[in-house]
Chains A and B, each alone.
Chain A
Amino acid sequence: MKWLAALILSISLILPAYATEGVKEGAPAPTFVLPDENNRNVDIGIFMDRPTIIYFTHNACFYCTQLILYLKRAQAKFGEKNLRIIGINIMAKDQNLIKAYKEELGFIFPMFAGNREDVLRAYRINYVPVIVFVDSKKTVRKVVGHYIHEDELHRHIKNIMK
């Protein structure tokens, strides 16, 4: 019976899964009022009136900046009327960093300052890049927490456009 006791003990010590309030595939996309580059406080929910990509990034992530080209090409391919793209900079607390980031990288999409505990917890952002795919009903369909190739990006976009 020793092996059984050992098995029960080892199972009991595995980190338990907690029901968290964070974003889950199939759940409504959390919305927040966040500052943009002009320091206007904007409800990001109003941007989710069509299939939307929420792109979480920060200034030290080279992999993230490489994705910007893919995002631009995706919007050109699928059309602005069919696909919304917004960025959330998790390093930014106010307009200044957003403004500098957009200017430097030619980030043409709306971007918001997301260095806020409630935002980071709601979207479970412990690293970047994170790309959240939201359908037109504001439901999270896919969360990708790593660098993404263009064909995978397009596949997820097509899914939220269905």
Chain B
Amino acid sequence: MINRREFVIGSLMLTGYAAMEGSNVFALPVNDAKVKAVSMKITCTMEVLKPPRNKNINIWTPIPPDNSEQKISGLSVKSRMQYKMTEDISHGNRMLFFNTDKLTAGETITMKYTMVRRTADVVEDRGERPERHLEPSEWERWDDNIARYVDSLVVKESDPVRIGRKIYDALIDSLNYIHEACGRGVSILMFEEKIGRCDEFHALFRSMMMYKKIPVKWEQGIALPYPSVIKKSGEVEADCINAHSWVKFHVGDNKWMPVDVSEAKRRPDLRDFYFGKLAANRIKMSNGRGITLNPPQKSPMNTFPYTYAEADGMPLIYGHNYKNRMKYEAVKIEA
């Protein structure tokens, strides 16, 4: 004989089981390393909180690139302001540019699209000149200490994949990860302090690889929940905490291998996976560091993962003047 409480719990469990059977992969266990792709609808909104008064305001919003790793379709933009689509000359990043002398509190710029984000693998890029990715940004210079360390680590190894793996393992074993901070991604400081987040991990990886004459590309985006824990819908803030970077290094024959050192640090179970693959828990927004937007911004820009704004050439204050929200609706997970 079951009591009323057990009956209710049993009924709920049966209902839940029926829902799992009748729905899709979301309710089933998902192995992040085995997922092939995640499809989702994205709504990215920049909301004005406290607008600057009597100032000329420029706003740049990154447009996520459409490529073999992430298929972007149905892109639409909603804003009372007129805008133009532009592209930066050095990195090819596409963006929306808005100019206005009047913003009102509560007004928004909304970009919607559907994205199929694939698990990234080694990719061929014949349109790319690898040598241009041997140029460190102002934050990625290396010193004699870094050079000596890399020499002792790599010794006589010349294969870029084996060199990459040695550096990757050494960084994971030696560095500490911090999440609630906004990084500058300075290689020398990371080497000395041994604590940082994705930008610091990847700046140092990039410096060490470039020192060994291996070209490394910098990619920037926003981190989303892993397929194993993603809800059917949710929201992340597109800010410096949720911004995420990763890199790809040249392995020869115009082939580039992705690496995510900081996520490998955070997810030891994915350590081997992240040397050569990228989980489908991200949206790529831009390439490179030290970016000059189009039209050019007044202040230096380290990376470009989310909407940036200036008033009379002064950067607006994130969280005070404006905020970026990214809503997602997970449509399908291909395992």
Chain A positions within 8 Å of B, measured between CB atoms, are 10, 12-16, 18, 20, 22, 58-66, 90-91, 96-97, 100-101, 104-105, 120-121, 124-129, 145-147
Task: Report how many A-B pairs have Cβ atoms within 8 Å.
Answer: 113
Interface of A (DSSP majority class): loop
Contacts of B200 in A (CB 8 A): 126-127
Q: Is B174 an interface residue (CB 8 A)?
A: yes
Contacts of B240 in A (CB 8 A): 60-62
Contacts of B145 in A (CB 8 A): 16, 18
Contacts of B315 in A (CB 8 A): 59-60, 91, 97
Q: Is B181 an interface residue (CB 8 A)?
A: yes
B184–A60 touching, CB < 8 Å: no
Q: Given contacts A105-B317, A125-B184, are A146 and B178 in contact (CB under 8 A)?
A: yes
Q: Which residue of B lies closest to A90 (CB)?
A: B184
Interface residues of B in 142-193 (CB under 8 A from A): 145, 149, 152-153, 166, 170-171, 173-175, 178, 180-186, 189-193
Contacts of B197 in A (CB 8 A): 127
A145–B317 touching, CB < 8 Å: no
B180–A63 touching, CB < 8 Å: yes
Task: Indicate the member of B173, B237, B315 with the most A CB atoms within 10 Å.
Answer: B315
Tally B residues with Cβ within 8 Å of A.
Answer: 46
Q: Which residue of B lies closest to A16 (CB)?
A: B149
How far is B153's CA from A101's CA once the two chains are assembled, in angstroms? Answer: 45
Q: Which residue of B lies closest to A62 (CB)?
A: B319
Q: Is B52 an interface residue (CB 8 A)?
A: yes
| Nearest CB of A to B48, in Å | 13
Q: Which residue of A lies closest to B166 (CB)?
A: A13
Q: Pick the contact of B178 from A20, A97, A120, A127 — CB < 8 Å?
A: A127
| Nearest CB of B to A148, in Å | 10
Q: Is B80 an interface residue (CB 8 A)?
A: no
A62–B299 touching, CB < 8 Å: no
How far is B197's CA from A50's CA once the two chains are assembled, in angstroms? Answer: 34
Q: Is B215 an interface residue (CB 8 A)?
A: no
Q: Pick the contact of B317 from A13, A15, A104, A127 — CB < 8 Å?
A: A104
Task: Indicate the member of A15, A104, A126, A147 with the most B CB atoms within 10 Å.
Answer: A126
Contacts of A125 in B (CB 8 A): 184, 189
Q: Pick the contact of A60 from B153, B174, B192, B318 — CB < 8 Å?
A: B318
B318–A146 touching, CB < 8 Å: no
Q: Which residue of B lies closest to A20 (CB)?
A: B192
How far is B103's CA from A36's CA once the two chains are assembled, in angstroms? Answer: 29
B181–A146 touching, CB < 8 Å: yes
Interface residues of B in 220-266 (CB under 8 A from A): 237, 239-241
With contacts A18-B145, A97-B299, A127-B184 known, what are 6 further pairs, Cβ within 8 A? A15-B171, A22-B193, A96-B314, A124-B193, A128-B181, A146-B181
A12–B152 touching, CB < 8 Å: yes
B182–A104 touching, CB < 8 Å: no
Contacts of B299 in A (CB 8 A): 91, 97
Q: 1/0 per residue B189-231: CB within 8 Å of A?
A: 1111111110010000000000000000000000000000000
Q: Which residue of A lies closest to B186 (CB)?
A: A126
Contacts of A15 in B (CB 8 A): 149, 170-171, 174-175, 191, 194
Q: What 5 pairs between A and B have smallest CB-CB spacing?
A: A62-B319, A15-B174, A127-B181, A126-B189, A127-B183
How far is B34's CA from A104's CA once the two chains are assembled, in angstroms? Answer: 48
Contacts of B190 in A (CB 8 A): 126
Q: Pick the contact of B170 from A14, A59, A96, A101 — CB < 8 Å?
A: A14
A65–B194 touching, CB < 8 Å: no
Q: Is B112 an interface residue (CB 8 A)?
A: no
Q: Pick the contact of B321 from A66, A104, A120, A129 — CB < 8 Å?
A: A104
A60–B170 touching, CB < 8 Å: no
How far is B143's CA from A20's CA once the two chains are assembled, in angstroms? Answer: 13
